[in-house]
Amino acid sequence: MWDHLSVMTVKQLFTSYPYATDFFSSLPNLQQSEESSVAAYFAAIEEDTLQDLGIGRQELLDQFLSFMLQMEKLKEDKVKIESITIIGGRDKQGKVEDIELTIHAGEIVCIVGPTGSGKSRLLADIEWVAQHDTPTNRKILINGQLPDMRCRFSVEHKLVAQLSQNMNFIMDLSVEEFVSMHAESRMLENIEEVTSHIIAKANELAGEQFNPDTPVTSLSGGQSRALMIADTAYLSSSPIVLIDEIENAGIDRQNALRLLIDKQKIVLMATHDPILALMGDKRIVIKNGGISKVIETSEKERENLILLTQIDRKMLAIREVLRSGGRINEIPVELEEII
Amino acid sequence: MQLITVAGPPSAGKTSVMLKIIETLQEETLKVGVIKFDCLSTQDQILYQKKGIEAKIGLSGNLCPDHFFVSNVQDCLTWSQKNNLDMLITESAGLCNRCSPHIRDVMAVCVIDNLSGVNTPRKVGPMLKLADIVIITKGDIVSQAEREVFAFRVKQANPSAIIVHVNGITGQGAREVGQLFKGAQGVDSLTDYHLRFSMPAATCSYCLGQTRIGQNFQMGNVRKMDLS
Ligand SMILES: Nc1nc2c(ncn2[C@@H]2O[C@H](COP(=O)(O)OP(=O)(O)OP(=O)(O)O)[C@@H](O)[C@H]2O)c(=O)[nH]1
Ligand SMILES: Nc1ncnc2c1ncn2[C@@H]1O[C@H](COP(=O)(O)OP(=O)(O)OP(=O)(O)O)[C@@H](O)[C@H]1O
Ligand SMILES: [Mg+2]
Ligand SMILES: [Mg+2]
Ligand SMILES: [Zn+2]
Ligand SMILES: [Zn+2]
């Protein structure tokens, strides 16, 4: 690779490999050196500058080559994930966990169980692609096979994206800058298009609208969550999305989940909320560190989901009355029946 | 005797993460000790000792902590041999951006946190750029997108490193890094080993504790800003 790159001018390098500018951004004298060859550029960096950068000349060259190789790799297509299979191990008492469960792309699976039962451990086993080397002794297969174990430590082939409870952004950027920065890190070419699409989708999910130039740090909880979900659906490279509850406030949860499964993600969601649990195709019940059973959402449960959603909507309406300073004198009949 | 050098900016989560990692190694009955290098003070040894981990501290005072580290690391190794440790981890607060404690042929780890901002990986010196493993912490406080962008930037700064996410509070990811630690090279003596990157040759008078301001007190390697 060096033979090929070293003879290019710096300018040619940037034209052929636009991402190379990132590597050079912390290096000096770029403007003056655009016409010199890449080899000459590196040879001309002064010792003092190298000292300031905290790196030797040979190491810098090695890093440059490594950088270019790795970035090219990011563009390679990766294996499409169609399914993951969980092969049981042992529960906390050492009892055999007798299960083989396959989850397919586009499926939503909920995980239920008491505190400390092992929900997070199951999610961690999946993320680590456990091979009998975790406390549960489980084994995970990808597309029915043993995966390339390098995926454990790969930044670009990370299996699992996590939407955690936390809803804050810390970056001091506008929504648009934020999303396009993420798109850049995915080395996409149609960044503007993707960015505006994501913002539009997030606005569909959020109760109140926001603009591309709204700072991410001033989004409301619901808006942040909507943006995180839309962003994960379109920009995360990970085929599996783990969700730790989605709060009801200010976001259309059903559509949010639909967006993820439309993008052929596998969605795993730890939840105590009956509406979310019934939105799943099945739910895994964890007890004592082991999967005690897998329940498929039944027809009856799906019917009840519709009912529960209606009740939920009523509750939301009541909350809205409260929020706008009204009195709660009238309780909808359906709710009264339950009471 | 396995040796691992861990460095990272102050408060990045080095101790929290090491505690979680060592816990998983202790389950496998490995005897791990830690020596913390810092400038003026640290409570870290108490945190380690509470978990039954042999721990010592080295305070460099006015010296650059990394310079101080190199002058003492062989003694640290001898100390851990005397204590029959299987593994010695050195924790350095990366206070000097130009130095790093990383040694060739000794597993080198950098801990850096998501909160430090996406431009930080570019700015951190050899302690990040020349590490074998980069541990990213505090992923729980940022969004998935921020985590992905941050990891990407770390990868740009050190393309050949193994990059892992560990939560210093819940310990998520710690067991996995523990497995990597078990692969660290063995070291009997550091004689003839080399630092991965030379530490800046000359120091200025302020490095040595000078506090007075003015031309007369500036000695050694002094560089002036161009404000014209
Ligand atoms: N939310 C969150 N907080 C963390 C995480 N890791 C560490 N912290 C917190 O960050 C603070 C600093 O952590 P330490 O482990 O003491 O950091 P350190 O790098 O050892 O600090 P020094 O040794 O003083 O340089 C503590 O309050 C930790 O609880 C994490 O993954 N998530
Ligand atoms: N099969 C198992 N064998 C041994 N240890 C296990 C097993 N399953 C889980 N554990 C351990 O039990 C502890 C609690 O599990 P975990 O954190 O996954 O619980 P949780 O269901 O996520 O709890 P919470 O609802 O509080 O988040 C962890 O230390 C985990 O490693
Ligand atoms: Mg949990
Ligand atoms: Mg510490
Ligand atoms: Zn120094
Ligand atoms: Zn100085």
As a three-state string, the secondary structure of chain A is: CHHHHHCCEHHHHHHHCCCHHHHHCCCCCHHHHCCCEHHHHHHHCCHHHHHHHCCCHHHHHHHHHHHHHHHHHHHCCCCCCCEEEEECCECCCCCECCCEEEEECCCEEEEECCCCCCHHHHHHHHHCCCECCCCCCCEEEECCECCCHHHHHCCCCCCEEEECCCCCCCCCCEHHHHHHHHHHHCCCCCHHHHHHHHHHHHHHHECCCCCCCCEHHHCCHHHHHHHHHHHHHHHCCCCEEEEECCCCCCECHHHHHHHHHHCCCEEEEECCCHHHHHHCCEEEEEECCEEEEEEECCHHHHHHHHHHHHHHHHHHHHHHHHHCCCCCCCCCHHHHHHC
pLDDT higher than 60, residue B202: no
* Closest CA of chain B from A146, distance in Å: 18
Residue A231 shares a structural domain with residue A95:
yes
Residue A290 CB less than 6 A away from ligand 2: yes
Q: Residue range B36-48: average pLDDT?
A: 91
Residue A66 shares a structural domain with residue A182:
no
Cβ-defined contact of A228 to B145 (cutoff 8 Å): yes
Q: Which of A59, A76, A93 is the last residue of a domain?
A: A76
Residue A165: per-residue pLDDT: 66
* Shortest-distance atom of ligand 1 to CA B167: 31
Residue A29 shares a structural domain with residue A164:
no
Residue A122 shares a structural domain with residue A65:
no
The domains of chain B, with CATH numbers, are: 2-199 (3.40.50.300)
Residue B63: per-residue pLDDT: 74
* Strand, helix or coil for residue B91: strand
Yes or no: say if B137 and A4 are a contact pair by the CB < 8 Å rule.
no
Residue A214 shares a structural domain with residue A147:
yes
With CA atoms as reference, report the closest residue to A92 among A116, A109, A125, A114. A116
Q: Residue range A219-246: average pLDDT?
A: 88
Residue A111 shares a structural domain with residue A250:
yes
Residue A309 shares a structural domain with residue A234:
no
Q: Residue range A272-294: average pLDDT?
A: 93
Radius of gyration of chain B (CA): 18
Residue A168 shares a structural domain with residue A193:
yes
Question: A59 in contact with B at a CB cutoff of 8 Å?
Answer: yes
Cα(B157)–Cα(B176) distance, integer angstroms:
23
Residues spanned by the domain of A61: 2-76
Cβ-defined contact of B142 to A232 (cutoff 8 Å): no
Question: B148 in contact with A at a CB cutoff of 8 Å?
Answer: yes
* CATH code assigned at A251: 3.40.50.300
Cβ-defined contact of B126 to A54 (cutoff 8 Å): yes
Residue A99 shares a structural domain with residue A164:
yes
pLDDT bin (cut points 50, 70, 90) of residue B209 is low
DSSP state of B188: S
Residue A159 shares a structural domain with residue A58:
no
Q: Which of A76, A99, A130 is the last residue of a domain?
A: A76
Q: What percent of chain A has pLDDT over 70?
A: 96
Q: Residue range B209-224: average pLDDT?
A: 67
Residue with tokens 């080397």: A133
Tokens of A285: 């019940």
Residue A219 shares a structural domain with residue A122:
yes
Residue A185 shares a structural domain with residue A255:
yes
Q: Which of A43, A76, A109 is the last residue of a domain?
A: A76
Looking at the structure of chain A, the number of domains it has is 3
DSSP state of B225: -
Residue A134: per-residue pLDDT: 87
Residue B85: per-residue pLDDT: 96
Interface test with chain B among A50, A126, A176, A185, by most B beta carbons within 10 Å: A185
* Shortest-distance atom of ligand 2 to CA A89: 1
pLDDT higher than 80, residue B221: no
Its ipTM equals 0.78
Question: B129 in contact with A at a CB cutoff of 8 Å?
Answer: yes
Residue B220: per-residue pLDDT: 59
Q: Residue range A139-143: average pLDDT?
A: 94
Residue B169 CB less than 6 A away from ligand 1: yes
Q: pLDDT (tens digit, 9 = 90+) per residue, A11-25?
A: 999 888 888 888 887
Ligand 4 center–CA B198 separation, angstroms: 24
B88 membership: H or E segment, kind and range:
strand B87-93
With CA atoms as reference, report the closest residue to B135 among A155, A182, A132. A155
Q: What percent of chain A has pLDDT over 90?
A: 44
Cβ-defined contact of B172 to A120 (cutoff 8 Å): yes
Cα(B57)–Cα(B69) distance, integer angstroms:
11
pLDDT bin (cut points 50, 70, 90) of residue A321 is confident
